[in-house]
Chain A
Amino acid sequence: MEPFKNFTGVVAPLDRANVDTDAIIPKQFLKSIKRTGFGPYLFDELRYLDHGEPEMDCTDRPLNPTFVLNDPRYGKAEILLARENFGCGSSREHAPWALADFGFRVILAPSFADIFFNNCFKNGILPIVLDAKIVDALFEQATGGSPLRIAVDLPAQTLTLDDGTCIPFTVEAGSKHCLIEGLDDIGLTLKHVDAIRAYEERRRSEAPWVFIGA
């Protein structure tokens, strides 16, 4: 995984609650056996007026003019501003794959669904939970004439707006470390091979029925 670097990016406001992973990447794109190439199909049913299919060339597809990412101001956005319970529904990691492939690196919302939140960190995306009032204020600024830009500083855990307003945020220490270093979880876990083996040996004697496997 690429290490997460501080950056300043444009905020795209997606003003609806309970955005589910079916909306983020519809089911037909889940048939791919790859991890890449999902960006053009991000929010497919909201973004285009026709029906999308895997491997379709999206350059000439009819765009939904009312969808936020089709507004030229937000086309290069790296920060997604969303409402409560973002990423609910299916566990599909294709959702963060599509968001990352499009170019999003940070998602701001009052709350996230658990599985999606967790999946983001595995893919270099930083999901940030903010107070609902702050989110409301950001929506107001982001939907104004010129797009809102925010400087993201992960080590310092701050968001800084163009006008100098600084918003602190919290992030779990382990997840922060992995993002900054671009660490692979599996590699980290395998440092504890001895502990896993010792646990397994104990469990094998205490609950041998678990080891009658397929």
Chain B
Amino acid sequence: MGAKTLYDKLWDEHVVRVDDNGTALLYIDRQLVHEVTSPQAFEGLRLAGRQPWRTSANLAVPDHNVPTTDRERSAGITDPVARIQVAALGTNCATFGITEFGMGDHRQGIVHVIGPEQGFTLPGSTVVCGDSHTSTHGAFGALAFGIGTSEVEHVLATQCLIQRPSRTMLIRVNGALGPGVTAKDIVLAIIGEIGTAGGTGYVIEFGGDAIRALSMEGRMTVCNMTIEAGARAGLIAVDEKTIEYMRGRPYAPTGELFERAAAHWRSLVSDEGATFDRVVDLDAANIQPQVTWGTSPEMVLPIDGRVPDPDAESDPVKAGGIRRALDYMGLTAGMPITDIRPDKVFIGSCTNSRIEDLRAAAEVARGRKVSDHIKLALVVPGSGLVKEQAEAEGLDKIFTAAGFEWREPGCSMCLAMNADRLEPGERCASTSNRNFEGRQGQGGRTHLVSPIMAVAAAVAGHFVDVRAL
């Protein structure tokens, strides 16, 4: 046997059968379910008279539509269409016997926060969800990717998916990050380097000293945005940090079985000498705090950068893209990133709403005030348990004293399916993952940053290097 990549190992371990046409039936260990991409899948099961193959392989939670204010959560969702969708998840889970953390459950939260938090995401497992940010779970050495609703139904009915092997890419982030530079800056810099389609057709493994040095939360942030580089799945090899994170989680094994599992998990690394279809090297020391200026995550610059000039771009399709982005974003070519002034600040989303993100953000917010220029600054914890932990540490008090609003968990302003959104023309410093046109509300303008850079922008009233604060 030749040397295998981590991806090869995960793939081989999950192949049920290979078809003559080269596709494989891949066994799926875990499925996370949320309210937006599941109702049509459950309806399909019902119409065909099918039952879930293995109910215990699924865990459901409403997150996209849920309100983040106390008032709306206790009174019921105001938006009647959203209310029906959240209720449908409850009914479907009850009908088919699937565990659901409902809106009133203190474990409720963003699907990609609660999977790892509960130990439902296991190293070495295959994890799917009807959500592209399922790549998050790759931080655990799990093969995790987003699927469409037809495939959600396929997994419910068969516990399998029809797949083709992907190409493999290794991205090594060598050396050490400077102070004030975070996992978010790493992944934004990677997307800036390889482009939003750079990873299409690949599974990306992240390695190198700077990745190894990240906490599990940081690794989740990096894997989360793999999809923004075009790759469906990101991977990080298992190490002792992974295993320690798993210990004591509600759905993780215990006692002797845990040790047996851990022994297997330790083998989930790419072998010495394994070959990848593409290798990209980045020097961590060169990565500065990042800010996106345009309408695609690849339109990103270091904080000391200037907005690009379309006339300097030779490719006409790219030049057109820059021109359209500048127009949509209300920016002029050549202006310094530090002259851009947000109206709102959002700290949250499956990218950056975990306890470590909130601790880092609170550290910058401590003793400071949100600028008068900022209309609204929101902190939305990723789950009820993150919220409880943050409150136990007094982080909520630091945020509210600084002028931030402290909310209930959910996807919130990352995609603005609930009431948290931008008005047309409003500009946001956001710790989320997509700066597409209209993503945070029709006509809204999104700048993606790390949690500490978001707080720095909130305090200064414009983007600023958090290291100089």
Asked if residues A85 and B130 are in contact (CB atoms below 8 Å), the reply is: no
Among listed B48-56, B387-395, B449-457, interface-contacting one = B48-56
* B148 & A23 in contact (Cβ 8 Å cutoff): no
Complex Cα distance, B82 from A32, in Å, reads 8
Contact B147 A91 (CB under 8 A): yes
The answer for the CA separation of A22 and B202 in the assembled complex, in Å, is 23
Q: What chain A residues lie within 8 Å of B53 (beta carbons)? A: 196
B438 touches A22 (CB 8 A): yes
Please state if A174 and B417 are interface contacts (CB–CB under 8 Å).
no
A168 part of interface (Cβ distance < 8 Å): no
> Could you tell me if B146 and A196 are in contact, using CB atoms closer than 8 angstroms?
no
Q: Is the CB of A114 within 8 A of B27?
A: no
Assess whether B200 is in contact with A213, with CB atoms less than 8 Å apart. Answer: no
Candidates B37, B54, B264, B438; contact of A45 at CB < 8 Å? B438
Stretch at the interface among B158-166, B269-277, B347-355: B158-166
Return chain A residues, CB-CB under 8 Å to B150: 93, 119, 122-123, 185
> Is the beta-carbon distance between A32 and B232 smaller than 8 angstroms?
no
With an 8 A cutoff between CB atoms, is A133 at the interface?
A: no
Please give, as numbers and ranges, the residues of chain A lying within 8 Å of B339 by CB-CB distance: none
Partner of A207, one of B124, B145, B434: B124
A150 at the interface (CB under 8 A from B): no
Partner of A114, one of B81, B125, B149, B200: B200
- B1-45, CB < 8 A from A: 16-17, 19, 21-23, 25, 27, 29, 36-37, 39-40, 43
Q: Is B65 an interface residue (CB 8 A)?
A: yes
Known: A16-B324, A186-B157, A214-B56. A26 touches B442 (CB 8 A): yes
Residue of chain B at shortest CB distance from A189: B158
Mark contacts of A161-180 with chain B using CB atoms, 8 A cut-off: 1 yes-contact digit, 0 otherwise: 00000000000111001000
Which size class do B's interface residues fall under?
Answer: 35 or more
Question: In this assembly, does B331 line the interface, its C-beta being within 8 Å of a C-beta of chain A?
Answer: no
Contact of A113 among B36, B81, B154, B197 (CB under 8 A): B197
Do A174 and B196 form a contact, CB below 8 Å, given A27-B415, A119-B150? Answer: no
> When chains A and B are docked, how far (Å) is the Cα of A188 from the Cα of B147?
18
B436 close to A (CB within 8 Å): yes
Residues in B whose Cβ lies below 8 Å from that of A122: 148, 150-151
> Which single member of B21, B36, B196, B264 contacts A30 (CB below 8 Å)?
B36
Interface status of B112 (Cβ within 8 A of chain A): no
- Whether A17 pairs with B162 at a CB distance below 8 angstroms is no
**Shortest distance between the CB of A176 and any CB in chain B (Å):** 9
Task: Please tell me if A76 contacts chain B, counting CB pairs below 8 Å.
Answer: no
Do B436 and A174 touch across chains, with their CB atoms under 8 A apart? no
Q: Output the nearest chain B residue to A116 by Cβ-Cβ distance.
A: B148
**Known contacts A91-B147, A213-B54, A84 near B21 by CB under 8 Å:** no
CB distance from B23 to the nearest CB of A (A): 5
Choose the segment among B253-261, B303-311, B359-367, B370-378 that binds chain A (4+ C-beta atoms closer than 8 Å).
Answer: B253-261
Scan residues 122-151 of chain B and give those whose CB is less than 8 A from a CB of chain A: 122, 124-125, 130-132, 134, 145-151
Pairwise interchain contact B317-A83, C-beta atoms closer than 8 A = yes
How does the 8 Å CB contact mask read for A21-59 relative to B, with 1 for contact and 0 for none? 011001110111111000000000100000100110000
A36 (CB) vs chain B CBs: closest residue: B40
Q: Which residue of A lies closest to B158 (CB)?
A: A189
Residue of A nearest to B98 (CB): A214
Type the 1/0 row for A182-202, where 1 means its CB is closer than 8 Å to any CB of B.
Answer: 000110111010011001100
> Smallest CB–CB gap between B342 and chain A, Å?
20
- Asked if A17 and B317 make an inter-chain contact with CB atoms under 8 angstroms apart, the answer reads yes
Contact of B65 among A31, A83, A85 (CB under 8 A): A31
**Roughly how many angstroms separate A96 CA and B99 CA in the complex, as a whole number?**
29
> B80-131: which residues lie under 8 A (CB-CB) from chain A?
81-82, 84-85, 88, 98-99, 120, 122, 124-125, 130-131
Q: How far is the CA of A192 from the CA of B15 in the complex (A)?
A: 13
Contact indicator A51/B442 (Cβ below 8 Å): yes
Would B81 and A31 count as touching, CB distance under 8 A? Answer: yes
- Nearest A residue to B88 by beta-carbon distance? A33
CB within 8 Å of B: which A109-129 residues:
111-115, 118-119, 122-123
User: Do A33 and B40 touch (CB < 8 A)?
Assistant: yes
A88 an interface residue at 8 Å Cβ cutoff? yes
Residues of A within 8 A of B65 (CB): 31
Check A28 against B417 for contact (C-beta < 8 Å). Answer: yes
Q: Are A214 and B58 in contact (CB under 8 A)?
A: yes
Q: Is B439 an interface residue (CB 8 A)?
A: yes
Tell me whether B230 and A88 are in contact (CB under 8 A).
yes
> Which of the residues B16, B43, B196 comes within 8 Å of A18, measured between beta carbons?
B196
How close is A89's CB to chain B, nearest CB, in angstroms?
6
Do A27 and B132 touch (CB < 8 A)? Answer: no
Known: A115-B132, A190-B157. A199 touches B82 (CB 8 A): no
A194 to B17, CA, bound (A): 11
Residues 84-108 of A, flagged 1 when their CB comes within 8 A of B and 0 if not, give 1100111111001000000000000
Q: Which residues of B contact A137 (CB under 8 A)?
A: none
Contact call A173/B21, Cβ cutoff below 8 A = yes
Extra inter-chain contacts (13) besides given A84-B197, A174-B19, CB under 8 Å: A16-B321, A18-B321, A22-B438, A31-B81, A91-B134, A91-B147, A91-B148, A96-B148, A119-B148, A173-B22, A186-B50, A189-B158, A214-B120
Q: Which residues of A contact B (CB under 8 A)?
A: 15-18, 20, 22-23, 26-28, 30-35, 45, 51, 54-55, 83-85, 88-93, 96, 111-115, 118-119, 122-123, 172-174, 177, 185-186, 188-190, 192, 195-196, 199-200, 203, 207-214
26 inter-chain pairs at a CB distance below 8 angstroms, sorted by A residue, are: A15-B320, A17-B318, A17-B321, A22-B434, A27-B415, A30-B37, A30-B64, A32-B85, A33-B40, A33-B43, A35-B40, A35-B43, A90-B434, A91-B132, A91-B146, A112-B200, A115-B147, A118-B151, A122-B151, A172-B164, A177-B21, A186-B157, A189-B25, A196-B158, A210-B29, A213-B58
